[in-house]
Structure 1
């Protein structure tokens, strides 16, 4: 974490606007946005407000116009921000009151409603568990975990998520479901109220193991149950500025400015006390580059219109970028292409690898990138236009996209992602590449969109255990190279280090991320296996136990 004295810049407007990408200005932007006082820039928070005011002021200083038909730089959008208990939650078992939150809690899947009846224990709640059982008009009790003898590679495993089993109970006429956990080494289901999950049509609660005896479960106790979960809505703001040259074609240049606040879902921090996640690389780096590109684009004799967007809501699920299309805010017919800068601040000083995703979305990308590249950058390209960042909604609206990315690292989604760790000269080089690309494409015809054969369209293996490592997504060799190791997790205990390349998990040969996930899907908590990896060109093997 980091604290600086830059808040006064918000009001004084003393940042310079040289007609070039400036390392000094990049630092100023990042140090402001990644300051502790913004508390991680969580969408809907005071920190987000400070950030969007700062970005709006920079847009104004640069002379950007409002987007056509807008009355400010801000585009407000609403989003579902989770759930909370309502006042109508009750659970009685054989007349005994069970205490909310202490003894039981509604699951995030729960619908609202009232159910009164006898309870029927249905083991794991699989299809076979309903054979010969009459649950219609009763309350189903099922285990949260699956039986250990189910092969993770079978259709039964793939179709037996907790949600699917809850839907099966509803289809069989259950009035409600009580989920329990009596299996050894299995975690209780988490509340996850911040997740935006569409509920099933019946009440669903989790009953903690100390609140009821197993013999009572099997004696069909009388249950009175009521659930009420209230949806919480909040709002966020995209910041949108416009250069009107004018033209009938427009280029969108974007970067998200929100981050994880004090550590929401997705944080890799495992400490007991909450900590501010400043998100210097993710994604103050992209916003800094966006702000510095504006003046240079504005000063060049370009023909197209240029739309600069600082997105919010990215970390929560691309809410800000999606809203632009859900509301038909942007005229997609005139958008030529979209460039997205997400995590561009950690260019490796030695390897100089810059990932560029989406090169398959137009036939011109590879040629133009090679022509626009600077002498010292090594480009690692991927064709897919999909991905968990703000270029994806543009791709799904048939717009050619590129995503610039310097790779993950051990500080990703962690409180240690701070401003002093960024490679600012590297950011300048990336900016020069992007400016060259913009200038090259400005005089050309509108790009033709190509739908890519997305590698993510296949089924992703389901797994419930992890090694506790950060994969190196820039790695192009065989295996899964480790980019960071979480203290006290499986890999750390086994002695694995950053740079090790995992080549086998048990019987699964690991050649890429997909086979790595397939390997993980074979194991559960408590299982042991052998792991092979390469270090300094030598193959090593270690015994690991998943926990």
Structure 2
């Protein structure tokens, strides 16, 4: 009996040792190479790597040159390393934009474009007459944290007025921060059946209309979206004998249907098109294989301040060192390191996605037009903002394959503190793959005060920490590449993960690559 127990123990011990030997690697990530990659990608020379710009084109060519130098091959079906796609790169006011309030009096109130109101660059064009108007607090509808500003009010077919930001003001660390952007409030309003969303400052001190910035959208949000001066919100309440609720005490939603107001809106926007490119390289298996692992990161950032910038003024270069020069550098280093591995049983496709900042356009285009059939892709690893490692590493998608948790635990030889989230949805390119029922893992070192600001610079990257993260990811990749069985796809609920996404707001994953009116729904999350 004792011999049998000892034999079983020794077999188990040998299996563990073999697993650790297989997953460990003599090839390591170079901090110096990471520093060189990030230093160039976040330099002034690339002017913030805006998709469709000259700086963006330089970035694409730089990544292509590095893929060639590393020894990655082009995918035959693409005829090179580039996969091109078009998108709306610039929006400006056309003729005939107007907003009119009718309170049932002889004289109507007509608002002046760019003085009293301005359309959002992602607004739908329209000609809407005599809409009822409702107030819906901050326009937030979420499960985590729990809040529904639409509770008790019918928004269907109406114009919805909401306050900018959230219950905690514009605090970027608030649990409501993911719900601040007007685009996401527009998604909520649209799903509530509204015809238009009117965004107003939460207090008098911040009552300035946002500038219509260039380059933020591909197709409209399928709803009219405008920003309006606060004085007209006051007028709406005054006509009903009420005052505007104080945003500081709007801890709970305070929806309200205006009794006297009717609203007419005409919006006409001019949209210009540009082209960006995904950069794609192939690392073939060392043995014959028809299966592929995709490793990706987006290369683009905000240029000199498009929609999504948190800078108070337009024109400064947004360097995007962490977001996402760090992830792009990670893709390049993983390509180099994996190529040096002697045994690779599966192929690896490396993709540097364009226009992620404009709504995940590059990854959506890739999955809609895959150069290798998605049926042959067994998993996708995404790197986005991996350069500010401090206390823990966030890993999303841990519930998208049955094997993930064991593989991640086995690969974590450095005992990196992990914050694991099961959901395969998130505000980055892995969502495009997960909606196609491909298991994903997403690595992210967390938000910081330089997010989407010009101050996200290369000198603030923790290169030692990023190298540690990438060595960890490389071990995971090697386990996936050399495992006898492919990962088993699992469906996850749309929980809020480490990096909140547009899909957590309303339960759907929109496709912003559609160039017609509105957006197509890529996926609907379970229990949404």
> TM-score, structure 1 length as denominator?
0.63
Aligned-partner Cα distance in 2 for 1:51–1:154:
42
Deviates more, 1:91-100 or 1:45-54: 91-100
* 1:460, distance to aligned residue in structure 2 (A): 6.4
Aligned-partner Cα distance in 2 for 1:159–1:189:
27
User: Once the two structures are superposed, what CA deviation does each residue of 1:69-89 show, in whole Å capped at 9, x if it has no partner?
Assistant: 111211111223463222444
Aligned-partner Cα distance in 1 for 2:138–2:357:
34
Q: Which residue of 2 aligns with 1:130?
A: none
Q: Is the 8 A contact 1:20 1:295 kept in 2?
A: no
Q: Is the 8 A contact 1:78 1:235 kept in 2?
A: yes
Q: Which residue of 2 aligns with 1:242?
A: 282
Aligned-partner Cα distance in 2 for 1:427–1:113:
47
Distance 1:147 1:434, change over 3 A: closer
Q: Is the 8 A contact 1:139 1:177 kept in 2?
A: no
Q: Which residue of 2 aligns with 1:421?
A: 460
Task: Give the alignment partner of residue 270 of structure 2, picking from 230, 244, 264.
Answer: 230
Deviates more, 1:221-230 or 1:362-371: 221-230
Aligned-partner Cα distance in 2 for 1:437–1:384:
18
Greater Cα radius of gyration, structure 1 or 2: 1
Q: Which residue of 1 aligns with 2:80?
A: 72
Task: Give the alignment partner of residue 22 of structure 1, picking from 27, 30, 33.
Answer: 30
User: Helix, strand or coil for the counterpart of 1:309?
Assistant: strand
The 5-angstrom pairing of residues 342-357 of structure 1 reads 342-348=384-390, 351=391, 353-357=392-396
Q: Which residue of 1 aligns with 2:303?
A: 261
Q: Which residue of 1 aligns with 2:436?
A: 397
User: Once the two structures are superposed, what CA deviation does each residue of 1:1-31 show, in whole Å capped at 9, x if it has no partner?
Assistant: xxxxxxxxxxxxxxxxx96421111100000
* 1:143, distance to aligned residue in structure 2 (A): 7.2
Task: Name stretches of at least 5 consecutive residues in structure 1 with no aligned partner.
Answer: 1-17, 116-137, 171-175, 463-547
User: Helix, strand or coil for the counterpart of 1:234?
Assistant: strand
The 5-angstrom pairing of residues 11-50 of structure 1 reads 20-50=28-58
* 1:180, distance to aligned residue in structure 2 (A): 11
Distance 1:107 1:153, change over 3 A: closer
* 1:154, distance to aligned residue in structure 2 (A): 6.8
* 1:144, distance to aligned residue in structure 2 (A): 6.8
Q: Is the 8 A contact 1:20 1:292 kept in 2?
A: no
User: Once the two structures are superposed, what CA deviation does each residue of 1:39-98 show, in whole Å capped at 9, x if it has no partner?
Assistant: 111111111111111100000111211123111211111223463222444789979997
Distance 1:253 1:328, change over 3 A: closer
The 5-angstrom pairing of residues 16-165 of structure 1 reads 20-81=28-89, 83-89=91-97, 100-102=113-115, 105-106=118-119, 112=125, 139-140=130-131, 142=133, 153=148, 155-156=150-151, 159-160=154-155, 165=160
Q: Which residue of 2 aligns with 1:332?
A: 374
Aligned-partner Cα distance in 1 for 2:319–2:220:
27
Aligned-partner Cα distance in 2 for 1:46–1:331:
31
The 5-angstrom pairing of residues 284-363 of structure 1 reads 284-300=325-341, 301-348=343-390, 351=391, 353-363=392-402
Aligned-partner Cα distance in 1 for 2:65–2:117:
49
Q: Is the 8 A contact 2:96 2:266 kept in 1?
A: yes
Task: Give the alignment partner of residue 277 of structure 1, picking from 318, 322, 340.
Answer: 318
Aligned-partner Cα distance in 2 for 1:372–1:86:
55
Q: Which residue of 1 aligns with 2:4?
A: none
Q: Is the 8 A contact 1:143 1:182 kept in 2?
A: no
Q: Which residue of 1 aligns with 2:447?
A: 408
Deviates more, 1:410-419 or 1:312-321: 410-419
Distance 1:189 1:451, change over 3 A: farther
* 1:394, distance to aligned residue in structure 2 (A): 0.8
Aligned-partner Cα distance in 1 for 2:373–2:138:
52
* 1:439, distance to aligned residue in structure 2 (A): 2.2
1:447 paired with 2:470, answer no
Q: Is the 8 A contact 2:430 2:441 kept in 1?
A: yes
> TM-score, structure 2 length as denominator?
0.66
Task: Name stretches of at least 5 consecutive residues in structure 2 with no aligned partner.
Answer: 1-25, 102-106, 140-146, 162-185, 241-259, 507-528
Aligned-partner Cα distance in 2 for 1:445–1:373:
21
Q: Is the 8 A contact 1:144 1:188 kept in 2?
A: no
User: Helix, strand or coil for the counterpart of 1:447?
Assistant: coil
Q: Is the 8 A contact 2:74 2:80 kept in 1?
A: yes
RMSD: 4.5
**Larger RCO of the pair (alpha carbons < 8 Å, separation 6+):** 2
Paired residues, number: 410
Aligned-partner Cα distance in 2 for 1:111–1:421:
39
* 1:184, distance to aligned residue in structure 2 (A): 7.9
Aligned-partner Cα distance in 1 for 2:202–2:458:
45
Task: Give the alignment partner of residue 197 of structure 1, picking from 202, 220, 223.
Answer: 220
User: Once the two structures are superposed, what CA deviation does each residue of 1:409-450 show, in whole Å capped at 9, x if it has no partner?
Assistant: 222222221111111112222222122222223232111101
Q: Which residue of 1 aligns with 2:524?
A: none
